[in-house]
Amino acid sequence: MTYEEFKESLAQSSPPKGISVLLEALWYDAKGNWEAAHNIAQSSEGTRDYDHLHAYLHRVEGDTWNAGYWYRRSGKEVFKGTLQEEWESLAQSFL
């Protein structure tokens, strides 16, 4: 799946079959279902990609302290761009 195909899948009512769980979380986030995305992020705490996703989701939530904690756990710097830019960066890295 390409990034463009993933973006186009947001028009669907459910995530595309066969995508990774991390992409599924971003799909849910883009559709406004933060809780479903957060549940996925919590499902594998201690895994760098999941922790990075977790950091992003707390940034979306506006909880910068908690986001900072998860960025540190993921070994990543706090993202300096917009939420949309971070979502795009994560999606491309998870593809």
pLDDT digits (tens, 9 = 90+) for 8-58: 999 999 999 999 999 999 999 999 999 999 999 999 999 999 999 999 999
Asked if residue 1 is part of any domain, the answer here is no
Single out the residue of 36, 20, 23, 26 nearest to residue 83, CA to CA: 26
Asked if residue 5 is part of any domain, the answer here is no
Give the range of the structural domain holding residue 26, as residue numbers without chain letter: 19-94
- Angstrom CA distances, 11 to 6, 75, 94, stand at 10, 33, 20
Mean pLDDT of 58-83: 97
Question: What pLDDT, on a 0 to 100 scale, did the predictor assign at position 84?
Answer: 98
* CA 60 to the chain's CA centroid: 10
- Angstrom CA distances, 40 to 78, 80, 81, stand at 20, 24, 23
Asked if residue 11 is part of any domain, the answer here is no
Question: What pLDDT, on a 0 to 100 scale, did the predictor assign at position 73?
Answer: 97
Asked if residue 13 is part of any domain, the answer here is no
Asked if residue 83 is part of any domain, the answer here is yes
Asked if residue 8 is part of any domain, the answer here is no
Question: What pLDDT, on a 0 to 100 scale, did the predictor assign at position 93?
Answer: 97
Question: What pLDDT, on a 0 to 100 scale, did the predictor assign at position 86?
Answer: 98
Q: Structural domain tally of the chain?
A: 1
Question: What pLDDT, on a 0 to 100 scale, did the predictor assign at position 80?
Answer: 95
